[in-house]
Structure 1
Amino acid sequence: MQYVGTTEVIQDYDSMRTALGYEKISFAGVSYGTFAGMSYAARYPERVDRFVLDAVLPHGAPPQALVTTQTAAVNRLVQRADALCQTDPACPFYGQGNGSVLQAWETVLAQSIQAPLPALSCGPGTGCNSPVTPSDLRQAATLVLTSNPDFPLFSIGLNESLHGDASVFAYRPDRDIRETVVAPLLCSDFELDDDLKTFAGFNNLSVNSNSSDPLKIIYATNWQLLLQCTVWPFPVSPSIARVTLPTDLPLMWMTSDFDLNLPTELTTFAWQQASQSTLVIRHGDDHTSILIPPPATAAGNLARNFLRTGTMPEPSTNVNVTVIGPGGTRGPVPGAYDVPTGCSCWRYEQY
């Protein structure tokens, strides 16, 4: 377990390159794979050909940024659920006006604080717990909106909760299983200062995110993962993740406006350290862009073309994608109601 971090991974990458007889490699990394990809590029820049880094975990971002950006992102996604309800007749809040989903969330959360909510489908032998506490509600809402957000399920869950059944938001132990995979990766790379290993220091990561959390969701997956890293038993070098990796390599960085797993601000932070790189922004939801199926393939097509031909797209913008060239400046994240909505609702798991 001590030797499964990025330091070892990029050594393995280069061993494979040598075994295959390649002078350079091309690479498409998504999510945590972007961290390894950039680590490889920084260590072996002369061996880099065409690199696409999609939904980025950046080097040098402080732990506070990992929590604050994710807190802001989940609030944006509740707004995205609300935006979809303005146009989707199947939404239980359709026709109730802008902000109806946000109001429902605030009402359900307030009710759960007064008293835990019943979950009629849950209990012994069901795989989910009843009743639903505020902490359950906050965690489940975040998980429903993670990766490929299921906006219809989120809205249905709120409506059912208002009518006495919060089963959609009940705690399910199996949801924690995936974090057993992520935690060793993150913790073997991210050295934490001693103050974060105290309750006060850890709690401040959340307190300092309050200004980004008008809906009082509080829970952030990165916050929980960092908690697990406070008890990582092996030494970690701060040089792995805690320092930025500036580069003049012509890389392609990709992000989507409303990614919750690795919020778009993190990709922007990494791209700003890369003076000759291009930023591709997919206007929409979901985690990563290369893997998104039709009809939202415009950004992924740009990446695939670059990997095949080496031709970087020129700066441009349209309703689906914005491309910002080297030396450009990214504006604010678009408003949740300003980007067209649509729910493909393909998922790795069903809640």
Structure 2
Amino acid sequence: MDTRRLLRTSALALATAGLLISGCSGGSSSPGASASASTKDGGLAPASALQPYYAQELKWRPCGAPGFECSTMKAPLDYDKPDGKSIKLAVARKKATGPGKRLGSLLVNPGGPGGSAVGYLQAYAGIGYPAPVRARYDMVAVDPRGVARSEPVECLTGKEMDAYTQVDQTPDDAAEATRLAASLKNFAAGCEKRSGAILPHVSTVEAARDMDILRAVLGDEKLTYVGASYGTFLGATYAELFPDRAGRLVLDGAMDPSLPSRQLNRDQTEGFETAFQSFATDCVTQTDCPLGTESAADASTRLKAFFAALDAKPVETGESRKLGESLATTGVIAAMYDEGAWPQLREALAAAMDGDGAPLLALADSYYEREGDGSYANLMYANAAVNCLDLPPAFTAPAAVQSGLPEFEKASPVFGRGFAWASLNCAYWPTPATGAPHRIEAKGADPIVVVGTTRDPATPYKWAQGLAEQLDSGTLLTYEGDGHTAYGRGSDCVDTAINTYLLEGTLPPKDKRCR
């Protein structure tokens, strides 16, 4: 299991299923300082220095499915040196279809960090968002710096990544802990070797400043935005930096930027335990449940025993890779993002317990975005690069993880050990963190809708409560249900509330709850 702290929306179910949690703030300056020093054309730098970026004209070309256009936007590689090198960012849009008056651009981000916003737009948002929204808005996406089509961070070869994903992440002794630490060091070294020039410049603050350039280039006075999962932190950061330019923002599956990395990881461990208990409670009522038909507690015991058996003896998958504990745990985690995947998980667990690890391996591969040819998308690489820049590491050495195991195992008897050890990932990162946990208030911003799902595994509901409380203009919309994020996932109540806000500017009633 690799818990690279990835957050992603589940709108595409397992096609875009993600990993674990992200960090919080980042950038070369504190966000508060950036906001207070902002100028009309974009933040800390003098207006003249950033003016060429804000004045650029995008050249659009057809791309992907009919109706979609793509372009390339430039931004400073280093906002402290705007006259220096630039970076190219991939942008895509699908123009408003009508009827009705066009309301401007609606920027979307699916989370990660590391998720491709352009891919999300083309595969889902541009065709799957509610028709009234697509009729009135140009649907727009930009791959954040270091992600997918925007000068992607690269770290390992496909074979190296295969080996990395199979490392035992629940070490039983000092030797295994040393091997895990060595794999994390090797991952970080690969990123520095292949992408060292961009690693210091992929923070969330910088990505938010890029969004403001895009807002201006598109001709919008204010940013209209729907961010899911990690995308909520990106959107909240934008509102903090540019409160006067923050329009209608929807932050779905919200993060709490005030929490340090260790607490974020622990909270998410608890979130996945809550989600698994919901799955287990349902599973034991099904005739095909491979974890028994007695109780959720019994199902947890059986799954933990199964993981231990795989740790001792992996099962065959029909290819050179075998299904060990790490990949099996990753496969289970992938299915927690969307309750629609529960039947698939039951079948995969049953097959693995019968000696065929291929279905559960397929779930793990979807989580890592591993292609059939053995190559990987840059999701995991960008995820680590942003996370490790945005927040100081949760743990700095194996001994620190050992001391923290009890609290993680209390949060989740099934997943706690693996999540605790995975929290060591940023300890060996070559670029020091530039961000720190802090409250985001965004005073002066227009009303912002924060959405939380009560049994969300990746972004626990209390994070949405925390962000809505911090934001000076935040309004919390609650979805009582399972899965990661809520908009566009089957709740007419949620969708109607958000559509009304986006189209009319009318906020959901205070303390609105949907089922």
Query: What's the TM-score once normalised by structure 2's chain length?
Result: 0.52
Could you tell me which of 217, 239, 253 is aligned with 2:450? 253
Counterpart for residue 78 of structure 1:
276
Could you tell me which of 388, 400, 409 is aligned with 1:210? 409
Tell me the secondary structure at the aligned position of residue 248 of structure 2.
strand
Aligned-pair CA distance for 1:215: 2.9
Kept in 2, the 8 Å contact 1:51–1:252? The answer is: yes
Kept in 2, the 8 Å contact 1:69–1:265? The answer is: no
Aligned-pair CA distance for 1:286: 2.3
Q: Any idea what the Cα deviations from partners look like across 1:271-313, whole Å, max 9, x if unmatched?
A: 2212542111212222222242xx3342133112111111111
Kept in 1, the 8 Å contact 2:477–2:513? The answer is: no
Q: Which has the larger radius of gyration?
A: 2
Counterpart for residue 141 of structure 1:
332
Could you tell me which of 333, 343, 350 is aligned with 1:152? 343
* Aligned residue runs from structure 1 range 241-280, under 5 A: 241-248=436-443, 249=445, 250-280=447-477
Aligned-pair CA distance for 1:39: 1.0
Kept in 1, the 8 Å contact 2:397–2:424? The answer is: no
Q: Does 1:198 align with 2:397?
A: yes
Aligned-pair CA distance for 1:175: 4.6
* Aligned residue runs from structure 1 range 291-306, under 5 A: 291-292=488-489, 295-306=490-501
Counterpart for residue 343 of structure 1:
none
Q: Any idea what the Cα deviations from partners look like across 1:252-284, whole Å, max 9, x if unmatched?
A: 111212222222232222222125421112122
Counterpart for residue 333 of structure 1:
none
Could you tell me which of 229, 236, 242 is aligned with 1:44? 242
Counterpart for residue 342 of structure 1:
none
Amino acid at match of 2:411: S
C-alpha RMSD of the superposition: 3.1
Aligned-pair CA distance for 1:150: 2.0
State the identity as a percent: 22
CA distance in 1 between counterparts of 2:216 and 2:459 reads 32
* Aligned residue runs from structure 1 range 215-226, under 5 A: 215-220=414-419, 224=422, 226=423
Counterpart for residue 335 of structure 1:
none
Kept in 2, the 8 Å contact 1:142–1:219? The answer is: no
* Aligned residue runs from structure 1 range 1-351, under 5 A: 1=198, 2-85=200-283, 88-89=286-287, 91=289, 96-99=293-296, 101-112=299-310, 115-119=312-316, 121-124=317-320, 128-130=321-323, 132=324, 134-146=325-337, 150-170=341-361, 175-176=367-368, 177=376, 178-192=379-393, 196-220=395-419, 224=422, 226-238=423-435, 241-248=436-443, 249=445, 250-292=447-489, 295-315=490-510, 320=515
CA distance in 2 between counterparts of 1:175 and 1:215 reads 19
Counterpart for residue 62 of structure 2:
none
Amino acid at match of 2:303: W
Tell me the secondary structure at the aligned position of residue 35 of structure 1.
helix
Amino acid at match of 2:474: S
Amino acid at match of 1:150: A
Kept in 2, the 8 Å contact 1:78–1:101? The answer is: no
Kept in 2, the 8 Å contact 1:58–1:267? The answer is: yes
- Higher mean Cα deviation, 52-61 or 227-236? 227-236
Kept in 2, the 8 Å contact 1:82–1:102? The answer is: yes
Distance 1:234 1:92, change over 3 A: closer
Kept in 2, the 8 Å contact 1:147–1:259? The answer is: no
In the alignment, structure 2 segments of 5+ residues that lack a partner are 1-197, 369-375
Kept in 2, the 8 Å contact 1:71–1:218? The answer is: no
Kept in 1, the 8 Å contact 2:227–2:235? The answer is: yes
Amino acid at match of 2:336: L
Query: What's the TM-score once normalised by structure 1's chain length?
Result: 0.74
Tell me the secondary structure at the aligned position of residue 437 of structure 2.
coil
Kept in 2, the 8 Å contact 1:71–1:219? The answer is: no
Aligned-pair CA distance for 1:147: 5.6
Amino acid at match of 2:485: T
How many residue pairs get aligned? The number is: 304
CA distance in 1 between counterparts of 2:366 and 2:356 reads 21
CA distance in 2 between counterparts of 1:112 and 1:279 reads 42
CA distance in 2 between counterparts of 1:22 and 1:111 reads 57
